[in-house]
């Protein structure tokens, strides 16, 4: 299959034809539904692939993009009654949302703006995922994954990022410690579109379901990773076999997989021994996520754990050869600083005296606090930046003082158009 960059077009595979929408091949069957991150339940049905193909054939690729990004808006309430029961209200809501998306596409908006539209202003979508994705760069699961990136091969073959979501890891891989190609795969188109447009534009993204097999030839990739998703997949053996087919000579990283023996469970988790059993005839190492985070912060080699571990969140590295992890920051740079330095979005902003900014660490929700409680161990609880520091952040000048703020996770590296710029035009309503 030919994946040369095309903004709008068609690709063929056997007897099937698939659309390329704004540079992203959509290799899905039926409808391009939006599925919940953990349960796989359908949240938004989405347009049919056949309709997308017809739009592209007719030269209306932009309209196909609008339909893919236009989730049903929140249900308005007037006088205690939900207005979607009024005849024509649903059609009006769809028309208004498509108008909003067209306006946003014509203007410069950030990844944060699009996340707000999808998660906070759409019907049937889990609002908890707004904080989960926006504040991901500082989460323990992200630091654990960053610790493992050192095992990726130092060659020019691309890295496969399966279930890549918004491309947070792709953002780092394409530039740290050196530039390398990345191909991200996910079943949710809108996440891939934001990743391509705002988070990791250098990477390539493909909308496909891992359960259908990976749409790549044998021996395509030099390394592969699946972060915070493998334990949610129903066909784990098939998925791992597909990763091995596409990455026979490189390591496979499975980070943030849940231990079935430790509650609460989500998805279809396995025991550590069962995970290791899937990687037949491969060299494997097992890590506790907490140990990987400790390794990242201390810049020391992490210790492996045994298959009888009682850790909840695990990382498995498998490959044709034995692999050892060394200190994750051998270059001296913090991987979480890759990109443009900005104030970590986990902090609430308040104006301080003399042009300064007061920052207070604030979990987005109770669920987020439960999932990411360890962030309190390495984030500053509160800090006030003076006007000079604020100007330095804006100018991108990494002074020793600002470098300390990076170590404290007050500052993190983000893509250029990740956060909403203060004073910028807000997204249109609804």
**Residue 195 has what pLDDT?**
98
| Whole-number pLDDT of residue 422 | 54
Provide the sign of the torsion angle of the four alpha carbons 230, 233, 237, 240, taken in this order.
negative
- As a whole number of angstroms, the distance between CA 131 and CA 324 comes to 33
Average pLDDT of span 197-207 = 97
Give residue 420's pLDDT: 85
- Compare 26 and 390 and report the one with higher pLDDT: 26
What pLDDT is stored for residue 353 in this prediction?
Answer: 81
Give the lowest-confidence range in 138-142, 158-162, 300-304, 423-427: 423-427
Judged against a pLDDT cut of 80, whether residue 191 lies above it is answered with yes
Q: 421 Cβ partners below 8 Å, 6+ apart?
A: 110
**Do residues 153 and 248 lie in contact, with contact meaning Cβ atoms separated by under 8 Å?**
no
Q: Name residue, tokens 């091949």.
A: 25
CA dihedral sign of residues 53, 199, 40, 240 = positive
pTM: 0.92
User: Among 11-25, 28-42, 57-71, 384-398, which stretch is predicted with the lowest mean pLDDT?
Assistant: 28-42
Rounded to an integer, the average pLDDT of 268-294 is 96
Q: What is the pLDDT of residue 315?
A: 98
Candidates 3.30.70.141, 1.10.3720.10, 3.40.50.150, 3.30.420.10; CATH matching 136-319 = 3.40.50.150
Number of Cα atoms under 13 Å in the Cβ half of residue 413 = 22
Non-local (6+) Cβ contacts of 197 within 8 A are: 22, 111, 417
For the stretch 338-360, pLDDT in tens is 999 999 999 999 988 878 899 99
Ramachandran region of residue 167, left (φ > 0), alpha (ψ -120 to 50) or beta? Answer: left
Average pLDDT value over all residues in the chain: 90
Q: What percent of the chain has pLDDT over 70?
A: 93
DSSP state of 29: S
Name the DSSP class of 332: S
pLDDT value of residue 5: 55
Domain boundaries, the chain: 8-125, 136-319, 335-414
What is the distance between the alpha carbons of residues 162 and 99, in angstroms, rounded to a whole number? 32
């Amino acid at each position: 299959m030919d994946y040369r960059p095309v903004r709008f077009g068609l690709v063929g595979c056997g007897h099937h034809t698939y659309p390329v929408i704004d540079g992203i091949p959509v290799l899905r069957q039926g409808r391009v539904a939006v599925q919940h991150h953990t349960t796989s339940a359908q949240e938004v049905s989405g347009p049919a692939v056949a309709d997308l193909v017809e739009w592209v054939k007719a030269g209306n690729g932009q309209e196909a993009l609008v339909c893919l990004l236009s989730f049903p808006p929140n249900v308005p309430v007037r006088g205690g009654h939900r207005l979607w029961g009024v005849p024509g209200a649903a059609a009006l809501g769809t028309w208004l949302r498509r108008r909003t998306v067209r306006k946003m596409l014509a203007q410069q908006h950030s990844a944060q703006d699009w996340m707000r539209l999808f998660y906070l202003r759409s019907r049937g979508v889990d609002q908890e995922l707004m904080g989960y994705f926006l504040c991901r760069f500082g989460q323990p699961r992200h630091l654990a994954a960053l610790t493992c990136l050192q095992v990726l091969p130092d060659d020019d073959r691309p890295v496969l990022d399966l279930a890549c979501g918004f491309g947070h890891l792709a953002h780092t891989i394409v530039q740290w410690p050196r530039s390398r190609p990345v191909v991200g795969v996910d079943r949710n188109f809108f996440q891939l579109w934001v990743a391509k447009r705002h988070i990791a534009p250098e990477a390539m993204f493909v909308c496909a379901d891992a359960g259908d097999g990976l749409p790549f030839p044998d021996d395509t990739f030099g390394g592969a990773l699946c972060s915070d998703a493998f334990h949610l997949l129903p066909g784990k053996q098939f998925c791992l076999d597909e990763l091995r087919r596409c990455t026979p000579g490189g390591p496979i990283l499975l980070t943030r997989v849940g231990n079935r023996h430790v509650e609460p469970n989500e998805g279809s988790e396995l025991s550590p021994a069962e995970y290791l059993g899937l990687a037949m005839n491969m060299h494997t190492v097992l890590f506790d996520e907490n140990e990987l985070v400790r390794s990242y912060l201390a810049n020391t080699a992490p210790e492996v754990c045994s298959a009888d571990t009682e850790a909840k969140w695990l990382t498995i590295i498998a490959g044709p050869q034995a692999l050892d992890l060394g200190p994750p920051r051998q270059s001296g740079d913090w991987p979480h600083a890759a990109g443009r330095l900005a104030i970590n979005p986990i902090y609430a902003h308040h104006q301080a005296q003399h042009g300064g900014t007061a920052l207070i660490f604030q979990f987005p929700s109770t669920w987020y606090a439960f999932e990411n409680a360890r962030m309190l161990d390495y984030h500053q609880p509160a800090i006030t930046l003076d006007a000079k520091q604020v100007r330095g952040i804006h100018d991108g000048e990494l002074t020793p003082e600002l470098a300390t703020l990076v170590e404290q996770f007050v500052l993190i590296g983000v893509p250029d158009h990740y956060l909403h710029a203060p004073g910028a035009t807000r997204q249109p309503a609804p």
